[in-house]
């Protein structure tokens, strides 16, 4: 399979697996792997992680968002933490990494599209996310605003042991907190069954009240 044939066959897919290329080419696996490596060096394709590729920007028809890619690079996962907080306008800073939670081990992938970071939560706490379509019409999973807060508090617990409200206000500059449901935050936090997290969540709810006042 030459690159023109490869491009025509896969250009309408957001991602390309090495396995699907081997099946389509019906050739020697090592030869195909060498071909993929050569196309990567030439800039024809982008390797997102081992065995997962996408066509370069000019040759692909679909242009998936980084949130879609984050969901696909490690499954199951959903976008949460700083990325989701930024998406909802709850923190002002642009977030360079795409941050997600997963039930698998903590992982990260670096590729030409960016850095994708995954932190682990237990299966009982893997909930509170929703689906939406990105600019390419592809389904993405992202935490609800209150679950993004709960995940953030859980995975950054050591930062909130003292003067938590000052950390919320000054270090992370939380904003637009009036949009959040305190009831939902506490409900999502309960799935972690963590007393220190419960305390941090109550502090955050007090912070919301103070910000409203």
> How far from each other are the two terminal CA atoms of the chain, in whole angstroms?
66
pLDDT at 102: 98
pLDDT at 81: 97
pLDDT at 36: 93
What separation in angstroms does the CA of 117 have from each of 109, 141, 193? 7, 15, 24
What are the domain boundaries of the chain?
A: 3-55, 66-212
Cα–Cα distance, 140 to 30 (Å, whole number) = 33
Cα–Cα distance, 37 to 111 (Å, whole number) = 14
Residue length, the chain?
Answer: 213
What is the fold, at CATH topology level, of the domain defined by 3-55?
Arc Repressor Mutant, subunit A (1.10.10)
- The 3-state DSSP class for residue 142 equals strand
- The 3-state DSSP class for residue 156 equals coil
DSSP string, 72-135: HHSSSEEE-HHHHHHHTTSS-S--SSEEEEESS--EEEEETTEEEEEEE--GGG---EEEEE-T
pTM of the model: 0.94
pLDDT at 159: 85
pLDDT at 162: 75
pLDDT at 11: 93
- In the chain, which residues have pLDDT < 50? none
pLDDT at 163: 83
Cα–Cα distance, 209 to 213 (Å, whole number) = 6
What separation in angstroms does the CA of 52 have from each of 37, 72, 97, 99, 129? 12, 10, 19, 19, 25
Residue 61's nearest CA partner among 11, 4, 17, 16 is: 11
Neighbours of 42 (CB within 10 A): 10
Would you say 198 and 189 are in contact if contact means Cβ atoms under 8 Å apart? yes
């Amino acid at each position: 399979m030459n690159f023109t044939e490869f491009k025509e066959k896969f250009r309408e897919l957001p991602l390309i697996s090495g396995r699907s290329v081997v099946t389509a080419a019906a050739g020697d696996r090592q030869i195909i792997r060498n071909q993929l490596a050569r196309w990567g060096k030439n800039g024809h394709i982008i390797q997102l992680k081992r065995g997962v590729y996408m066509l370069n920007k000019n040759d692909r028809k679909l242009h998936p968002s980084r949130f879609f890619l984050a969901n696909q690079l490690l499954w199951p996962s959903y976008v949460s933490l700083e990325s989701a907080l930024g998406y909802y306008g709850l923190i002002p800073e642009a977030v360079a990494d795409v941050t997600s939670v997963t039930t698998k081990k903590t992982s990260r992938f670096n590729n030409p599209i960016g850095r994708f970071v995954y932190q682990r939560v237990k299966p009982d706490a893997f909930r509170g996310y929703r689906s939406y379509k990105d600019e390419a019409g592809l389904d993405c999973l992202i935490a609800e605003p209150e679950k993004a807060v709960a995940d953030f508090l859980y995975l950054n617990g050591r930062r909130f042991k003292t003067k938590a409200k000052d950390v919320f206000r000054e270090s992370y500059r939380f904003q637009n907190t009036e949009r959040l449901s305190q009831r939902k935050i506490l409900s999502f936090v309960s799935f972690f069954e963590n007393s220190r997290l419960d305390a941090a969540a109550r502090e955050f709810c007090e912070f919301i009240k103070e910000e409203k006042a």
